[in-house]
Structure 1
Amino acid sequence: MTIALWCVLAAALLPFPFALAAKWSRRFDNAAPREYLEQAAGWRKRAHWAQLNSFEAFPPFAAAVLIAHVVAGPSAAADLLALAFVALRIAYGLCYIANRATLRSLVWLGAIACVIGLFVVAARAS
């Protein structure tokens, strides 16, 4: 299995540390987790938002990796782009939690550029 394909697994699991951070409180009620998260504030609310955005970012990334793999085969460029995406998405979540909005947006843009780059890898091979 290639590094890019392992990165799909990493990206699929990425929302969960942010969810754990958002819920890490003595006041967290596992019987009503959504209600707790709706009332959360500060860094916990932002951790929840990072979780949601991580779920949203996953489908285009997974599709891009799979398309690049099917069309271009194993590729060092795809591996690099996939690793960069995962690293940028970790940085994105940390920027979100730290309330660094401008930096977060720049990191988000870099991660989207990686997704586009994966499609370019596939396009060049076809």
Structure 2
Amino acid sequence: MSIANTCVLIAAVLPVITMGAAKAATAGKRRSEGGYDNNNPREWAAKQSGWKGRAAAAQNNGFEALPLFVFAVLAAQFAGLDQVRTDQLAMAFIGIRLVYTALYFANVAALRSVVWVAGVGVTIAIFAPTLTLPF
């Protein structure tokens, strides 16, 4: 498995870990006391506030960013682009997503948005060279 493919796996698991932190913070609490509600997980997530609410939003954003990243990596590999470059950009994407998630937890909105743009930019950088290749 290439480094880029490993990064795809990490990108897929990162949102789950993000929300898992919020769920773990309510461990030991009953549902009636705000503990995690596995019967109504989306309703429970929507009721969260503070960092746990932001964790839910970060999870959603992680899942939203995932398809374009996966497509970019697969397109680059299918096109036979330089694997080292693809690996490096994929690792940069993961680093950016980790920083983005930390900024979301810390409620640093403006910088978080800048980091989000960087993540989109890296994804485009992975994919863009395929636009000039005849498939």
Instruction: Name the TM-score, length of structure 1 as normaliser.
Output: 0.92
- Percentage of pairs with the same residue: 41
**Residue 57 (1) aligns with residue 65 (2):** yes
Structure showing greater Rg: 2
How far is the alpha carbon of 1:58 from its aligned partner? Answer: 0.2
Taking the aligned partners of 2:6 and 2:109, their CA distance within structure 1 comes to 29
**Residue 81 (1) aligns with residue 89 (2):** yes
Unpaired runs of 5+ residues, structure 2, are 30-34
How far is the alpha carbon of 1:2 from its aligned partner? Answer: 1.4
**Residue 100 (1) aligns with residue 108 (2):** yes
Instruction: Name the TM-score, length of structure 2 as normaliser.
Output: 0.86
Task: Provide the secondary structure at the position in 2 that maps to 1:31.
Answer: coil
Aligned amino acid, residue 89 of structure 1? R
Taking the aligned partners of 2:113 and 2:133, their CA distance within structure 1 comes to 31
Taking the aligned partners of 2:3 and 2:133, their CA distance within structure 1 comes to 19
- Of the structure 1 ranges 88-97 and 59-68, higher mean CA displacement relative to structure 2 is found in 88-97
Unpaired runs of 5+ residues, structure 1, are none
Taking the aligned partners of 1:3 and 1:108, their CA distance within structure 2 comes to 22
Match of 1:9 in 2: 9
How far is the alpha carbon of 1:64 from its aligned partner? Answer: 0.2
CA RMSD after TM alignment: 1.5
How far is the alpha carbon of 1:103 from its aligned partner? Answer: 1.1
1:69 aligned residue (64, 77, 100): 77
CA deviation profile, 1:68-99 (whole Å, cap 9, x unmatched):
00002452111111000011111111111110
Aligned amino acid, residue 15 of structure 1? P
- Of the structure 1 ranges 72-81 and 46-55, higher mean CA displacement relative to structure 2 is found in 72-81
